[in-house]
Structure 1
Amino acid sequence: MRWSPLWAGVLIVALLWPLALPGQLALRDMLVLDSPALSPGALGTGDLPARNAPQDGLLALLGTVLPASWVARGLILAGAVAGAVGAVWLARFQGATRLSTLASLTLVLWNPFVVERLLQGHWSLVIAGWLLPLIAVAGMSGRPGVAWVAMWAASLTPTGALFALFTGVATARAHRGRTLLLGVLCCLPWLVPGLIHSGGAVAESAAAFAPRAEGYVGAPGALVGLGGIWNADAVPPSREIGFALAGVLLFALLLTAARRVPAPLLWLAGVGLGGAVFAWLAPGVLGWLIATVPGAGLVRDASKLTVLALPAYVAAAASTRTWAAGLVLVLALLQVPDAPRALAPLSPQPVAVDRSLVDLVDGRDVLLVDEPTLVRRADGIVMINPLAKALPTVESGALSVDGVLVDAPSPRWRSAIAAWEARDMAALEDLGVGVVVSEGQVVETAAGPQPRRLGLTLLAVWLLIPAGVWLARWR
């Protein structure tokens, strides 16, 4: 019997069981409607930095023919399977035994990063994390085509694209220049709008999103266990009552096998863990970088850097033998023993959208005057206002964390609000606002839908990357 596929299946079902339930995905930063709007914002060319490109554009495009919430479910499941494949491949690359292969599988699929990020709604970042070991082993095994496709899949989210680029370039045995070029191409859906967009994060966001201590291990202990997310509400209860200690013990055990881990993976782990710890130690320095260096806001949520260590962890686990391999497996599970129960909020929700309003808007930009950006589900958990995804909106982007303004409202939103308060319909039309919704009233202007050509072009280029990889393999 092949134990690896069976064990991978058990872990995946235990983690992702909520996704089999009916409804639409709505949890904190994640809102995937069945039919999201194919708007400039979804394509990354709206009023805000393109933090969700090409993910939202892809879902909106596919949502015209398939329920996008089920597409997202399929992508998450495929990411988990790819993560399992990468773990087994990397384990064999390291000459693993059967038990150490199972330990490697467990480390990839079942860890605090996966659970905490899913609870925060960062599903595409979790996919990217699962893909990093596959990218690494494909590169080190001289299989650039596999690495390139995995890099492309990881680039659904900007942070995933960067992590995949770093991993791909660091581990490429050959074609490093091509790997770098492909990684840059994968970044175009958010990189190009970022060069055009003038907005950015504020320095205070570094402290607001700083790595957070977890029970009995502090922030450094949480980080080496691949935890430490800034939002306490996204942390499983077990992490606060002592089970985070298992992550520290696991890290210490993996260190004993570090000499057998390929050097590129150790470098990646050093960058990831070192960067996260630095952000915790010196949030002021990180804040300065965020405020002055374009694009640095991508790493303000610094605990996510720890996922760069995942390939090294897997390789170290694969290098353990006998009792040590069994202990790695047990400690990996004990880091988040309540993962299946903790992930219950991932269950899809009934989400109501006013379809008559969607039909009336007909692709025009909408100014939602008195609609909150965030609302609460029936169980009290925060979610994004469905109208923000169902309609092409004038995006505010204002965000406060614990009373600290970490993202200021967008200039266009401020101008549109000022124009509406002055009832200056000509100014609203000049701003491209086609519909205003205020206090239950709907007011239309003469403005038509905003251009989407740039966003659609960038999405098309991104979608064609796998075809380019296939052609490159035969040259």
Structure 2
Amino acid sequence: MPRPVSLRPAVPALYSLALAAVVLGPLLTSPGYLLLRDAVSTPRSFPTDSALGLTDAAARAVPQDALLAAASSVVDGGLVVTALLTGALWAAGWGSARLVAVLLPTAGLPARLVAATVGVWNPYVAERLLQGHWSLLVGYAALPWTVVAAVAVRRGARSGWPALAVCLGVAGLTPTGALLASVTALAVLAPPGGRSRLVPRLAGAVALAGAVAAPWLVATAVSGGAGDGSDPAGVRAFAARAEPALGTLGSVAGLGGIWNADAVPASRTTVWALVGTAALLLVVACGVPALWRRRRNPVLGVLTALAAVAVLGPALAATGPGLQAGEWAMVHVPGAGLLRDTQKWVAWAVPLYALAAAAGVGTLHARFGGRAGVWATATALTVLLALPDLAWGVGGRVRPVQYPDAWQRVAATVPSGDGDVAVLPAGMFRRFEFSGAAPVLDPAPRMLRADVLQSGELVVAGGTVAGEGRGAAEVERLLLAGAAPADLAAHGVGWVLVEHGTPGDLGDSARTLEQLEPVVTDAALSLYRVPGVAGTPSDDRTAALAAHALWAAVSAGGLVGLLVLRRRVRRREHHGGRRRAREQS
């Protein structure tokens, strides 16, 4: 007689999915596109040179943009981003629960659900959602799974390497995610011990890390995006920020402190920031004694060290000496611009926080008695109430929008290979009536088949941070000066797109536009043709495409390996069940 199927193992996954749905409710219940600060989803995007990281700007969105270009050729791009973001929050909670099952195997289901709550429901997730860093959250979600996979490698499990390949590949959707997961994997694999040999496992992890980082490493090498250094002004602009009633250290210890004061939940702008942080840290502190008793476990030691770096590093980087060191690095260390948003590295603290919160359930149960489920419920509610407005799109601020029809007409008009697109007004950020009050990245680069020139210059509180796109900055200067169309054509510009209804500098561009042929004229957008331009594809596309293929192969190969192993296990279980049935008959 077959055994009844138990749903108990699926509870953490179902619970995490429910939490993700509560957080992302507006995106899941209404059609449209995520367009909020750095988050830009469009119906369709294309594999332009910019998407492959082959412009002179820093390659910060590879292979993310190439993946969206491929996926949106089959499925609407808005659905792709919503699915990836939902999967990220789901995986963050489920992975946290799985991490507890692996490292604290005596912790029961209630404790694992507490860990899942911490993984999904925290200020880091809220602030990165409001900043539009959906792809960073994909890398964040991979962290607990990366630890689980690295532990499997240490233990000599066959599933370890393919699982690690999948984790690093998924995290590698962005350069930051690749660094977060790769450092985590190497840190877990580095301590001696385990059934696998130290040097081979470290070498294997380094090889995987290099493969998943290939898209942005190759793009940076061939385009020179990091060759001139980053603007040192970005260090102060993107330093971690102290929240109300909390110093910088308290803010990052509470998993908050993002540099942009406008990208925080409303509750974190009041004294509730102190209350919520105290509640979260109390939940974590309850489990510290239990983790201390397991201090001989090298993996727990590594996660503790990573958490300490994640909290102390951004706090120290925001001090006077830390800012000076960062400014020096921006000028003298190639690629240091990737590190300037120091608060994003707070993600390394979350796996330890989730473990401590789960361990705290056992501590409370042992000390005060009662049922573990009651203590787990109280702990989870404490975490939820510490950040009440994360629900429903962080208080309704993360919601879909609809593009005016003119965007689709322009997208259908501009071909590839017929010159680049210059945009007006100047700058990368827009404030459209249809997208709400928050500034948003210009959607044109992800909407059009041609490369849209962007300087990368960012306007932040207290000043401007220069970008790396020198060529785009020169074209912008020509437009604002009212240059002749021939001057634009000499820089490879075949189109000028004017986006109406958003503030920004137009300079004397009207003189240039008067000499151009209007192709699309609408209240939302005007598109002009610049004559005499023939686009030339980048000579480096082959190398960039090969790097993206390598990244995809790592992820796909790992997934195939896991499926093959799972099929073998099921086959053995099936044959074992048949053999036992024959023996009993």
In 2, Cα distance between equivalents of 1:412 and 1:466: 35
- Give runs of aligned pairs for residues 241-260 of structure 1, distance below 5 A: 241-242=271-272, 243-259=276-292, 260=294
Q: Deviations over 1:84-137 (max 9, x none)?
A: 332222111212122211111111111111111011100011121121011101
State whether residues 53 and 62 of structure 2, in contact with CA within 8 Å, keep that contact through their aligned partners in structure 1: yes
The answer for the alignment partner of 2:313 in structure 1 is 275
Question: Is 1:416 the equivalent of 2:475?
Answer: yes
Q: Which amino acid aligns with 1:119?
A: L
Q: Work out which of the residue numbers 162, 167, 192 in structure 1 matches 2:184.
A: 167
Residue 232 of structure 1 aligns to a residue whose secondary structure is coil
Q: Tell me how far 1:453 sits from its aligned partner.
A: 3.4
In 2, Cα distance between equivalents of 1:157 and 1:124: 7
The answer for the alignment partner of 1:288 in structure 2 is 328
The answer for the alignment partner of 1:153 in structure 2 is 170
The answer for the alignment partner of 1:456 in structure 2 is 545
Q: Tell me how far 1:219 sits from its aligned partner.
A: 1.6
Residue 319 of structure 1 aligns to a residue whose secondary structure is helix
Residue 235 of structure 2 aligns to a residue whose secondary structure is helix
Q: Deviations over 1:130-184 (max 9, x none)?
A: 2101110121133232122011101111100000100111123642211111111
The answer for the alignment partner of 2:420 in structure 1 is 365
Residue 48 of structure 2 aligns to a residue whose secondary structure is coil
Q: Deviations over 1:243-268 (max 9, x none)?
A: 23323433433433442361121122
The answer for the alignment partner of 1:11 in structure 2 is 19
State whether residues 485 and 530 of structure 2, in contact with CA within 8 Å, keep that contact through their aligned partners in structure 1: no
Question: Is 1:50 the equivalent of 2:50?
Answer: no
State whether residues 54 and 190 of structure 1, in contact with CA within 8 Å, keep that contact through their aligned partners in structure 2: yes
Of 21-30 and 270-279, deviating more is 270-279
Q: Tell me how far 1:369 sits from its aligned partner.
A: 4.4
State whether residues 237 and 462 of structure 2, in contact with CA within 8 Å, keep that contact through their aligned partners in structure 1: no
The answer for the alignment partner of 2:447 in structure 1 is 390
Residue 118 of structure 2 aligns to a residue whose secondary structure is helix
Q: Work out which of the residue numbers 468, 485, 491 in structure 2 matches 1:431.
A: 491
Q: Structure 1 78/398 Cα, relative in aligned 2: closer, same or farther at 3 Å?
A: same
In 1, Cα distance between equivalents of 2:454 and 2:55: 8
Q: Work out which of the residue numbers 345, 352, 356 in structure 1 matches 2:397.
A: 345
In 2, Cα distance between equivalents of 1:369 and 1:332: 45
- Give runs of aligned pairs for residues 30-179 of structure 1, distance below 5 A: 30-93=39-102, 94-95=104-105, 96-142=107-153, 143-172=160-189, 174=196, 175-179=201-205
In 2, Cα distance between equivalents of 1:226 and 1:470: 31
Q: Which amino acid aligns with 2:457?
A: A
In 2, Cα distance between equivalents of 1:343 and 1:36: 29
State whether residues 16 and 94 of structure 2, in contact with CA within 8 Å, keep that contact through their aligned partners in structure 1: no
In 2, Cα distance between equivalents of 1:248 and 1:223: 11
Q: Tell me how far 1:386 sits from its aligned partner.
A: 2.2
In 2, Cα distance between equivalents of 1:146 and 1:333: 31
Q: Which amino acid aligns with 2:130?
A: L
TM-score (norm 2): 0.76
Q: Among all aligned residue pairs of Structure 1 and Structure 2, give the percentage whose two residues are the same amino acid.
A: 32
Q: Structure 1 199/18 Cα, relative in aligned 2: closer, same or farther at 3 Å?
A: farther
Q: Structure 1 220/251 Cα, relative in aligned 2: closer, same or farther at 3 Å?
A: farther
In 1, Cα distance between equivalents of 2:553 and 2:58: 23
Q: Which amino acid aligns with 2:403?
A: V
Q: Tell me how far 1:214 sits from its aligned partner.
A: 1.7
In 2, Cα distance between equivalents of 1:163 and 1:426: 46
The answer for the alignment partner of 2:240 in structure 1 is 211
Gapped runs of 5+ residues in structure 1?
none
Of 318-327 and 132-141, deviating more is 318-327
State whether residues 115 and 343 of structure 1, in contact with CA within 8 Å, keep that contact through their aligned partners in structure 2: no
In 2, Cα distance between equivalents of 1:383 and 1:408: 17
Q: Which amino acid aligns with 1:134?
A: W
Q: Structure 1 64/402 Cα, relative in aligned 2: closer, same or farther at 3 Å?
A: same
State whether residues 365 and 449 of structure 1, in contact with CA within 8 Å, keep that contact through their aligned partners in structure 2: no
Q: Which amino acid aligns with 1:436?
A: V
In 2, Cα distance between equivalents of 1:250 and 1:214: 20
Q: Tell me how far 1:380 sits from its aligned partner.
A: 1.2
State whether residues 207 and 284 of structure 1, in contact with CA within 8 Å, keep that contact through their aligned partners in structure 2: no
State whether residues 433 and 445 of structure 1, in contact with CA within 8 Å, keep that contact through their aligned partners in structure 2: no
Q: Deviations over 1:301-321 (max 9, x none)?
A: 111111111122222223231
Q: Tell me how far 1:424 sits from its aligned partner.
A: 5.8
Residue 445 of structure 1 aligns to a residue whose secondary structure is coil
Question: Is 1:442 the equivalent of 2:475?
Answer: no
Q: Structure 1 429/465 Cα, relative in aligned 2: closer, same or farther at 3 Å?
A: farther
State whether residues 287 and 363 of structure 2, in contact with CA within 8 Å, keep that contact through their aligned partners in structure 1: no
TM-score (norm 1): 0.92
